[in-house]
Structure formats: C-alpha cells, structure tokens
Amino acid sequence: MTRTALSDTAFGVQSIARTAVDNEREFGDHDSVVGDGDFGFSLAREFEIVLSDWDGLDRSSPSAFLKRVALVISGRIGGTSGPLWGTAFLRAAAAVSGKEELTGADVVAILRASAEGIKSRGKSDLGDKTLLDALVPATDALESELATASGPAAALARMARVARASADATSLLQARRGRAIYTGERSIGSPDPGAVAVAVILERLSREWASRDDL
C-alpha cells in the first residue's frame, strides 16, 4: 500500500461518516430485529456532528485529526454507541501519534488499536456477535493483502469482501453483548447490525477509493 497522507485519512473518515448518515434506516432495521432499533439513529447522529464540524477539525497531522473526530463523537453523543466509536477513533489517533505520513502497516495498526479500544470499552471480543466480528477479519485481510504488495484499491476490495462474509456469518452466533443478549437464542438467525455497518462502510469506501480522481 502506498503512503497515506492526511488528505487520505480525511477522505476515509468522510466516507465513513456519509455512509453512517445515509444508511441510518438500514442499520436501524437490522438492530430492531433483536435490539432496540436505535443503532442506526445513534450512529447517524454521531457522524452528522462530525460532518457539521468538518471544516473546523484539526488537520495538523493524521493523529490530531483522528483525535478531534474522537472527541467530537464521544463528547456529544450519549448511550453506548458514542463512547465505543469515540474510543475507537481515540485509540486510532494514539496508534499513529507523531507521524505525518502513514504506511499500510500504520493503517493496520490503526484498525488493530481501534478494535482493542472497542474490546476494552465494550467488554467484548470475537464471537460475541458485535462489529468486532467483521472489523477484525477485515483487518486480518488487509494485513494479508499488504504482503502481496497490492495497491490500496485492491486491499480495500478484499477487506470489503471479507467484512461482508464475516457480517453474514454473525447470523449463526448468539449475542453476548448489547441489548440483543436479552433475547437469548432468538438472536441467532440475524446478522449483527454493527458488523453489517462495518461491511457497508468498507464496501462504500472501496468503491469511492477506486474512483478517486487523484489516484
């Protein structure tokens, strides 16, 4: 993967934010199957704030930018979603502190740190039927793709494929975290909304990255 400048970091975050806002209803519908249905609403509100503050976000470095996104999310959104996503972005910022340019390995480090932050904050792990069940396999796929020296577009495409397959596979799991845990075995048979969101985010980012004019 080529080195990723601040503009690329911003591009990725903006794509995530727009995906969250544009898919509010879909994500909420997934959550309403066994949850309280507010996942899509909460995620959309978080990233609406990020987009509304977009021009004023700190762009002095990739780390500073990610940290500011984290603070915007965690500082204005209550419940469980804001702290989880805020922690993910804060850990991502710490993973690349002091760096002006990011390599593919740095992107892997960002995603690993984000996942660890979510694990810690949500007291969750792989197999608990959360977004981790798509995020971690997608990160593994990225790390594997980097070993083939393929470019960003190919790496993102593979991540998106793996995330989608992994999200679909959460239908076989019983929820062990979140409100869905109270449904017991009834949570089996439907995919985790957070994992679905990761897949949709990566699918859109993959399409948008491949069509960028400056690549």
Q: What pLDDT shows up at residue 3?
A: 44
- Mean pLDDT to the nearest integer, 157-179: 90
Q: What pLDDT shows up at residue 75?
A: 79
What's the rounded Cα separation, in Å, for the pair 212 and 108? 21
Residue 185 has pLDDT above 80, yes or no: no
Q: Are 192 and 131 in contact (CB under 8 A)?
A: yes
- Cβ-based neighbour number of residue 92 at 10 Å: 26
Token readout for 189 is 């048979």
Give the lowest-confidence range in 28-37, 60-69, 88-97, 205-214: 28-37
Whether pTM > 0.85 for this model: the answer is yes
Instruction: Assign domain 6-210 to its CATH superfamily.
Output: DhaL domain (1.25.40.340)
Q: What pLDDT shows up at residue 184?
A: 59
Identify the sign of the CA torsion 120, 164, 166, 109. Answer: negative
Give 214's contacts (C-beta < 8 A, 6+ positions apart): none
Residue 194 CA, chain-centre distance (Å), reads 9
Q: What pLDDT shows up at residue 4?
A: 57
Give 135's contacts (C-beta < 8 A, 6+ positions apart): 111, 114, 115, 118, 163, 195, 198
Q: State the number of CA atoms in the 13 A half-sphere of 182 facing the CB.
A: 6
In the chain, what percentage of residues exceed pLDDT 70? 89
Give the lowest-confidence range in 2-16, 89-103, 153-167, 170-184: 170-184
Q: What are the φ and ψ backbone dihedral angles of 146, each rounded to 5 degrees?
A: -60, -30
Give 119's contacts (C-beta < 8 A, 6+ positions apart): 125, 132
For the chain, the domains span: 6-210
- Mean pLDDT to the nearest integer, 4-8: 82
